[in-house]
A = this chain, B = another copy of it.
Amino acid sequence: MIKRLAIIGVGLIGGSLALALKKAGKVGEVVGYSRTKSVREQALSLGIIDRAADNIADAVKDADIIFLAVPMGAMSSVLSDVVPHINTDTIITDGGSAKAQVVEQARQVLADKFSQFVPGHPIAGTEKSGPSAAFAELYQGHRVVLTPVAETNTDALEKVRTMWQSAGAEVFDMAVDQHDVVLAATSHLPHVLAFNLVGMLAQREDCNDVLRYAAGGFKDFSRIASGDPVMWRDICFSNKEAILGLLEQYHQGLNQIEQAIREQDGDSLISVFERAKQARDTRFSE
């Protein structure tokens, strides 16, 4: 049972955690803060939070757990605003999509309170955002990755684990670097690829025809190009090295396919497609 939970950033991710814990009866009071006044008022009126705070100091005061659900680019400054107001046993955790940068920022900003920080990443979401997109079942059956480091307080880690389990998630621990490369491969790179495809087609003069004849496969593909541009900019910068490394590999793979098409090298093309199909059919399908 969490007596007081502070949610900084009451959108889809933060709001859904609050709703899930309330529904499970695992939280006493939820205090919420968002930079935009109308957003925190909306979260209040939707019953996501019990009290809307006017500033971060007020929001985190006497909280047992503080959940930072803000864009990656805002994480460092929010940590700075939070740190003067926490107690010695307050736990801070986050929902950022890349962990190395957040962990470094927390180490610097929190200094001797760094052990109270539990880096986390709920792997769930929709293309929608804001308090109105939040729902109690978002994390049900989804995975949450925690990436504790040597300094992380074990008791804090277990409390954050229990919190996510109460929200219906399966919780796994991973090393920071492993998390970042796995997420780059399965989420960040695919989003970049989809943004690039849809953006390229949008610039064509025959865009309307392209649209009219787009079949199901393309629609699935393009759906992920609907993510929030600011959030994805932040993710790209936060997980820069892993994403750039994979992009390099991706270019090389495309070059091989291009060459095979140009030279009518059917065997090479089939072996590339076959490898993908086998992996997809045997490993990626559920």
Chain B residues near A207: list those with CB within 8 A: 279, 283
Q: What string of 1s and 0s marks CB contacts (under 8 Å) between A200-216 and chain B?
A: 11111011111111110
Stretch of A22-30, A80-88, A154-162, A184-192 that contacts chain B: A184-192
Tell me the smallest distance from the CB of A211 to a CB of chain B, in Å.
5
CB–CB A143/B272 < 8 A: no
Main secondary structure of the interface of A (DSSP, over half): helix
A198 and B282 alpha carbons, distance in the complex (Å): 12
- When all copies of this chain in the complex are counted, the total is 2
Q: How far is the CB of A192 from chain B (nearest CB, A)?
A: 6
Interface pair B182/A210, CB less than 8 Å apart: yes
Q: Decide: B200 and A250 in contact? CB cutoff 8 A.
A: yes
Using an 8 Å CB-CB cutoff, how does the interface string of A62-98 with B read, 1 for contact, 0 for none? 0000000000000000000000000000000000000
Report yes or no: B217 in contact with A190, Cβ–Cβ below 8 A.
yes
Interface size in chain A (residues, C-beta < 8 A): 90
Most chain B beta carbons < 10 A, residue from A203, A226, A233 = A233
Q: Which residues of A contact B (CB under 8 A)?
A: 123-125, 143, 145, 174, 178, 181-183, 185-187, 189-204, 206-215, 217-230, 232-233, 236-237, 240, 243-244, 246-247, 249-251, 253-254, 257-258, 260-262, 264, 266, 269-270, 272-281, 283-286
Please give me the 5 A-B residue pairs with the lowest Cβ-Cβ distance, nearest first.
Answer: A202-B279, A229-B273, A199-B276, A220-B220, A217-B224
Could you jot down 24 A-B contacts, CB within 8 Å? A123-B213, A123-B215, A182-B209, A183-B213, A185-B201, A186-B215, A190-B218, A192-B257, A196-B250, A196-B257, A199-B253, A199-B275, A200-B253, A202-B278, A203-B275, A217-B223, A225-B279, A225-B280, A227-B273, A229-B270, A229-B277, A233-B266, A237-B264, A240-B262
